[in-house]
Amino acid sequence: MSYRRLKDNKIYCRYKKQFEKTTALPRCINVAVVGLSGAEKEKGAVGVGKSCLCNRFVRLSSDDFKDDHNSLLSNSDFSGRVVNNDNFLYWGDVIKTSEEGTDYMFRVIEQTEFIDDSTFQPFCGVKTDPYIKRCVATKIESPEKLMYICRSQLGIEEKYEQKVLPPGEFSVDGFLCVFDVSVVPGRSIVKQLETVTNILTNIKNTKKPVVLVTTKNDKFNEAYVQEVQKLVSHSEFKKAIPIVETSAYLNVNVDAAFIALAHIIDRFKGRTKIVPYLESVKTTTS
């Protein structure tokens, strides 16, 4: 980015923050959800849970929670307006209120890798960088891209609500990096650790905040949970990455993960309450 554009952007961000404060509009936070992605040989039999996390967060009614967001697509679905020849999805926006009473409007994108159902290879899309590099992009554009709702929407978009990704650059304020703590056939823990470490290193270089979100804690593997703790204690991360333990299935700690990120982005001075999964699940499901 040129110095001029950088300066303009800084002025715009300051103005936007000021405007939101004076007009009592919710503070707008753009989040990218990232994590191990790719063909079956990379991610194993199923994905790490990025889509289910986004679905649970942005669709408030439990009837709107679907667990099938398979990334295997036909050519026509890949080039339709929802996927729009990109390897990311726009999940739309949602307003959530933190415990201290701040309203945040989150806009959510999921960085993934779509697989061609005729070749079983990833689609190339507009950008050809490897996933670990591409997923940490902080400026994203995709003209006329529609919000993703569910698999059955693809090809019959006109039958669903149509919300467009806001025009111009989508500027990512922070990342949720997902780590699946359940055992998945065909995926080694070593592979997931290596990928997530690389993604976290690349996020660190962007200087944007990140929260490490463990997924599928309703069937967690204790050894994997320990590995995640070890990962954030690496000296390069200086124990500065918070971990939030979630289950999209049971809707445990999902909002907490996004609010924790918003707090870091806003340099919140109070205490961010992060409740461990086993404690949180008792209050959520009782």
Residue ranges binding ligand GTP (CB under 6 A):
35, 37, 43, 46-52, 67-69, 71, 112, 215-216, 218-219, 247-249
Counting every residue written for the chain, the total comes to 286
**Ordered DSSP codes for 10-52:** HHHHHHHHHHHHHHTPPEEEEEEEEES-SSHHHH-SS--SHHH
Rounded Cα distance between 134 and 122, Å, is 14
Rounded Cα distance between 5 and 169, Å, is 12
- Which is nearest to 89 in space by CA: 178, 154, 161, 41? 154
Shortest reach from residue 68's CB to ligand GTP, in Å: 6
Q: Give the nearer residue to ligand GTP in terms of CB position, either 30 or 51.
A: 51
Q: Give the nearer residue to ligand GTP in terms of CB position, either 216 or 263.
A: 216
How are beta strands 88-97 and 139-140 bridged, if at all? Answer: unpaired
Shortest reach from residue 21's CB to ligand GTP, in Å: 35
Shortest reach from residue 129's CB to ligand GTP, in Å: 17
The beta strand positions in the chain, using DSSP E, are 27-35, 72-73, 88-97, 103-111, 115-116, 139-140, 170-171, 174-180, 210-215, 243-245
- Which is nearest to 162 in space by CA: 183, 177, 139, 145? 145
Q: Give the nearer residue to Mg ion in terms of CB position, either 109 or 172.
A: 109
Annotate each residue in 66-95 with x if it binds Mg ion (CB under 5 A) or - if it does not, as one string: ---x--------------------------
The binder of Mg ion chosen from 55, 84, 111, 112 (CB under 5 A): 112
- Which is nearest to 111 in space by CA: 41, 170, 36? 36
Q: Give the nearer residue to Mg ion in terms of CB position, either 50 or 145.
A: 50
The backbone torsions φ and ψ at residue 49, rounded to the nearest 5 degrees and listed phi first, read 110, 20
In sequence order, the β-bridge partners of residue 97 are 103
Q: What number of chain residues touch Mg ion (CB under 5 A)?
A: 4
Pick what 247 binds: Mg ion, ligand GTP, none; C-beta below 5 to 8 Å, kind-dependent. ligand GTP
The binder of Mg ion chosen from 33, 34, 44, 51 (CB under 5 A): 51
Rounded Cα distance between 51 and 150, Å, is 10
Span from 104-112, 134-142, 162-170, 275-283 in contact with Mg ion (CB under 5 A): 104-112
Q: Give the nearer residue to Mg ion in terms of CB position, either 32 or 264.
A: 32
Span from 58-66, 79-87, 107-115, 277-285 in contact with Mg ion (CB under 5 A): 107-115
Helix axes 189-206, 222-232, angle to 10 degrees: 30
Q: Give the nearer residue to ligand GTP in terms of CB position, either 215 or 272.
A: 215
Q: Give the nearer residue to ligand GTP in terms of CB position, either 237 or 249.
A: 249
Pick what 218 binds: Mg ion, ligand GTP, none; C-beta below 5 to 8 Å, kind-dependent. ligand GTP
> What does the binding site for Mg ion look like in residue numbers (CB under 5 A)?
50-51, 69, 112
